[in-house]
Structure 1
Amino acid sequence: MGFIGDSIESLKSINVRQSIELVITLGMIVSSALVIWKLLMCVTGCESPVVVVLTESMEPAFQRGDILFLRMGEEPIRAGEIVVFNIDGRDIPIVHRVIKVHERNDTADFDVLTKGDNNREADDRGIYAPGQEWLQRHHIMGRAVGFLPYVGYLTIIMTEKLIIKYVLFGALGLLAMTSKG
């Protein structure tokens, strides 16, 4: 019969108890992932403690597909640090190096200016929101404290080629439903 025929026969033979067990197992996996994510958010002080580098703008420090681990503490941001920030009106965060910091004497606030290491021409003022000259604390998601090279490339591939994402998740779902445990 072949793989697909065997899989269909296996799906037909699943009883109600196995279906409930499968749903509970999948629910526990998803719940565990959410708990781990929330725990990471609390420990790191970041809304998004893990990000994937999406462009070549930080080469040679980071390559496209590297995963960065972030942390955001109360200590001031310093020139030379690599930060991840959001721009008003943009959905995707940006990973760049801080090149200038302007600390305000009257408060604990600061302004920072960033630039991608591979962007030789100019600082990031051209990509900030119209009229914006500096980033403030609320724009900064976190500072890079570690990375895994190329591990995030799967995320990039699945974002750029949706068919790969659907095939991968479909195969995992089929495998979960047809495995006998």
Structure 2
Amino acid sequence: MNIRKELVQLIQVCSVFSGAFMFWNLLGLVCNTPSPITVVISGSMEPAFQRGDILFLYNRMNINSKTGLEIQNVGDIVVYNLDNREVPIVHRVIHEYQVESKQRNAKKQDAPKHKQYLLTKGDNNNIHDVSLYGRGKKYLNTERDILGTVKFYIPQLGYLTIWINENPKFQKLFYVVLLLISLYE
């Protein structure tokens, strides 16, 4: 057993994992979202997206010329995260409205602040998502709840992720195989 060779392999494995971690964070920074890639796990957006499609998100929206507010448009497909759910939801914006409130700035002058709120619905669902939002919440706040807008997707490629997450035995086996492959190199 050559200790030097073992250390080189360990450094290579760590380099691969740290490189993947840096790539994920850089992609999140460029796309302005903590989760730039997500997998569709339900059929609520059929026929637009199928279970297993990989979605690429971007959270730098259009600027409204009147308000200067970054906005989502009706018809956009957004991914949002709620406090009462651990998995992000992919649905279409069916209604949006903006609220202007007066807030004091550092110079003690009244300055209008615009906020946008969204109502969403899955294409394959019969009703809107208000029941998903939580108690007393009728709209999503774009600043707080929206992870990003879907910009493009790759069909069916996310099935491996779904399969691994739904089968805990295979999940452990998958991680062991990955570790063995990285150590074998």
2:5 is the alignment partner of 1:18: yes
CA–CA separation in structure 2 for the residues paired with 1:175 and 1:32: 17
| Counterpart secondary structure, 2:114 | coil
Task: Render the CA deviation track for 1:29-61: whole Å, top value 9, x for unaligned.
Answer: 011111111111111111110011110000000
The partner residue of 1:168 within 160, 168, 174 is 174
Map of 1:8 onto structure 2:
none
Q: Whose strand proportion is higher, 1 or 2?
A: 2
Residues matched between the structures, number: 165
**Which structure 2 segments of 5+ residues have no match?**
63-70, 102-112
Note the 1:1-181 alignment, pairs <5 A: 14-75=1-62, 76-106=71-101, 107-119=113-125, 121-137=126-142, 138-179=144-185
RMSD: 1.3
Paired-residue identity, % = 38
Q: Whose helix proportion is higher, 1 or 2?
A: 1
**Post-superposition, which runs of at least 4 consecutive aligned residues in structure 1 deviate over 6 A?**
none
CA–CA separation in structure 2 for the residues paired with 1:112 and 1:30: 37
CA–CA separation in structure 1 for the residues paired with 2:24 and 2:49: 23
CA–CA separation in structure 1 for the residues paired with 2:181 and 2:161: 21
CA–CA separation in structure 1 for the residues paired with 2:13 and 2:31: 27
CA–CA separation in structure 2 for the residues paired with 1:26 and 1:66: 29
CA–CA separation in structure 2 for the residues paired with 1:124 and 1:93: 13
| Counterpart secondary structure, 2:43 | coil
CA–CA separation in structure 1 for the residues paired with 2:123 and 2:139: 18
CA–CA separation in structure 1 for the residues paired with 2:158 and 2:14: 25
C-alpha displacement at 1:74, in angstroms?
4.3
Task: Render the CA deviation track for 1:4-47: whole Å, top value 9, x for unaligned.
Answer: xxxxxxxxxx4212211111001100111111111111111111
Task: Render the CA deviation track for 1:159-179: whole Å, top value 9, x for unaligned.
Answer: 100111222222232233344
Task: Render the CA deviation track for 1:139-170: whole Å, top value 9, x for unaligned.
Answer: 00100001011111111111100111222222
Task: Render the CA deviation track for 1:43-99: whole Å, top value 9, x for unaligned.
Answer: 111111001111000000000111100011142100000000011221111000000
Name the TM-score, length of structure 1 as normaliser. 0.86
CA–CA separation in structure 2 for the residues paired with 1:112 and 1:164: 39
Name the TM-score, length of structure 2 as normaliser. 0.84
